[in-house]
Structure formats: structure tokens, C-alpha cells
Amino acid sequence: MFKKTKSVVSIIYTFIRFFFIKLIRWKGFSYSPIERFSPRTMVNLYKKGRLELGKGVRVHSGVRLSITPRAEMKIGDNTAINYNCIFVARKRIVIGRDVTFGPNVVVYDHDHDFRRSKTMNGGKFDDKEIIIGNNVWIGANAIILKGSVIGDNAVIAAGTVVRGTVDADSVAYNKKELCIKHYDR
């Protein structure tokens, strides 16, 4: 009973919240009337940015969605985003239908380009779109970097760093080993 009540409250809260975002960002924001976003989800939709949500998108607490000016983020139907994930679009992030994100997943469509500025935090970026197919599962603590394309029905193992193409119907993982190098004092 408590779980159903919590879901209904979440849907009502999201509806009201999205109504006000829609008033402010009008053409830059589209969504289905029934979405479930935790009240502790941060949505930063900057002027001239675009966020498009499919039907039945579920987002847990601690998630941050940031869409910079002239950037675009599309999230497909029935996508579930677990706790504390971060999505930052400077260009374009497209997520298909029925995608599941584990907790603490990070998706960035850009890198800091420290070579083009005089300081490390000079504000220069190199960006390339990210496309995630349908029915993809992305495990906890995975990192999806700029220019990545993940095919339909792919599985990204927990802790995997993805940069490039992951074929459809495949499992992607990083082989990890602990390396220790001693240094002189």
C-alpha cells in the first residue's frame, strides 16, 4: 500500500513540477503526462536546450540531468534511471526505449579540452553525440563518454568505461587488474 501511495505522490509531484518547467522552457521541453521523477532529481534545462521524455520514464533520487544551451537530450519510453546518475549534454544524448541504468552511471557527451586554453579549467570543450539503443542495460558505476554508440539489446557491465561503438546483442566489460607501482621518496 505504501509503495502505491508513494508512486502516486511522485507522479503528481512530477506533473506539477514539469508543468512549471514547460511554462518556462515551452518548446524546449516535452514529456508524457505520467512520469515518475523523484523530488530529489535535478533538471537543469538551459535556455535553447531541449529535453524530450518518452512515456513512462522513471528517475530515482540523486539523478542530475543537465542540458546546456543548444544541446539536446532525448530519453525513450519506459527508461529507468537509478540512483545518483549524472547526464550532461553539451551537444546531443539520445537514449532509446526500455533502457535501464544502474546506480551512479555517468554519461557525458563532451571532454574538457585543456589543450585549447591556457589553464586547465579554461572552459573549452570537445563534444560528440552519444546514442544508446533500445533495450540496453547499463550496470552500476559505468561511464559513457563522448562519441559512444551502444547498439540495441547490449549489456554494459558494472564499472565499464565506454568510448566508441558497442555492437547490438553484445556484452561490454573492461578487464581490470590492480596495478601497483612503487615510487621513490
Active site residues: 112
The pairing of beta strand 165-166 with beta strand 92-95: unpaired
Residue closest to 80 by CA, chosen among 63, 101, 96, 64: 101
Grid coordinates representing 94 are: 539520445
CB 140 within 8 A of CB 159: yes
Residue closest to 140 by CA, chosen among 88, 81, 93, 57: 81
For the stretch 34-60, what's the b/e string if a residue is b when 16 or more beta carbons lie within 10 angstroms of its beta carbon?
ebbbbeebebebeeebbbebbebbbbb
